A and B are shown apart, each in its own frame.
Chain A
Amino acid sequence: DQQVKQNSPSLSVQEGRISILNCDYTNSMFDYFLWYKKYPAEGPTFLISISSIKDKNEDGRFTVFLNKSAKHLSLHIVPSQPGDSAVYFCAALGTGGFKTIFGAGTRLFVKA
């Protein structure tokens, strides 16, 4: 039973355009959502997070949107750069919890 789902295994975007990575979740008790970025043969690194009391969080080129009613969040990267090519994992956890549930990841290709 996947509580966090990333239904697109891959995404290809032209450099300079917007990348939109999507994530759906099933557990309404999740309070925090995070995005991690992973390069091959390396550990994931934290990118951006959002609390369930917000609907948007922005950090430079990265913006995460949360739609609680739809149990959906998305990561927007604008403008996309070739160095953004990586696997992006969506993750979720509940308040006071620390056990993070990860999605399967979406591989982003940014073409120069």
Chain B
Amino acid sequence: DGGITQSPKYLFRKEGQNVTLSCEQNLNHDAMYWYRQDPGQGLRLIYYSQIVNDFQKGDIAEGYSVSREKKESFPLTVTSAQKNPTAFYLCASSPIDYDGPNNEQFFGPGTRLTVL
């Protein structure tokens, strides 16, 4: 089945440790995204990537890093520099349709990160 997967679903880390969240898609989508959701807030864009080996900062990139070595994979590292890392993290992918509306995003199930 085509889809987007994130692992693990729940993650606990000690303060000061870096942690990497996995995101894989087999939808052959060019674009991938990382969002963060906090209680009572919408989705805030952390990083996005249009193509392999290229990515751009979103609205809240500080304290995060990403890589895009393969089209299918877009891992997110939450570094110790991120002041409030406890949140629900969502990965998404989409085609890039420059002429039309087919840019709806497909989301993974999310990873809830808790920093103790």
Residues of A within 8 A of B (CB): 6, 9, 31-32, 34, 36, 41-46, 49, 51, 89, 93, 95-100, 102-105
> B52 at interface (Cβ–Cβ under 8 A)?
no
Q: Which residue of chain B has its CB nearest to the CB of A104?
A: B42
> B45 at interface (Cβ–Cβ under 8 A)?
yes
Neighbour of A104 across the interface among B41, B97, B101, CB < 8 A: B41
Minimum CB–CB distance for B27 against chain A, Å: 13
Instruction: Give chain B's interface residue range (CB within 8 Å of chain A).
Output: 20 to 34
Tell me the residues in window 72-92 of chain B with beta carbons closer than 8 Å to chain A beta carbons.
Answer: 88, 90, 92
Q: Which residue of chain A has its CB nearest to the CB of B88?
A: A41
- Indicate if the CB atoms of B103 and A46 lie closer than 8 Å: no
**Chain A residue contacts of B107, Cβ below 8 A:** 36, 43-45
- Indicate if the CB atoms of A34 and B99 lie closer than 8 Å: no
**Chain B residue contacts of A41, Cβ below 8 A:** 88, 109-110, 112
Tell me the residues in window 33-51 of chain B with beta carbons closer than 8 Å to chain A beta carbons.
Answer: 35, 40-43, 45, 48, 50
Minimum CB–CB distance for B106 against chain A, Å: 7
Tell me the residues in window 46-60 of chain B with beta carbons closer than 8 Å to chain A beta carbons.
Answer: 48, 50, 58
Kindly state the separation between the CA atoms of A45 and B92 in the bound complex, as whole angstroms: 10
**Chain A residue contacts of B69, Cβ below 8 A:** none
Which of A45, A96, A100 gathers the greatest number of chain B CB atoms within 10 Å? A100
Assuming the contacts A43-B92, A43-B109, asked whether A49 and B43 have C-beta atoms less than 8 A apart, the reply is no
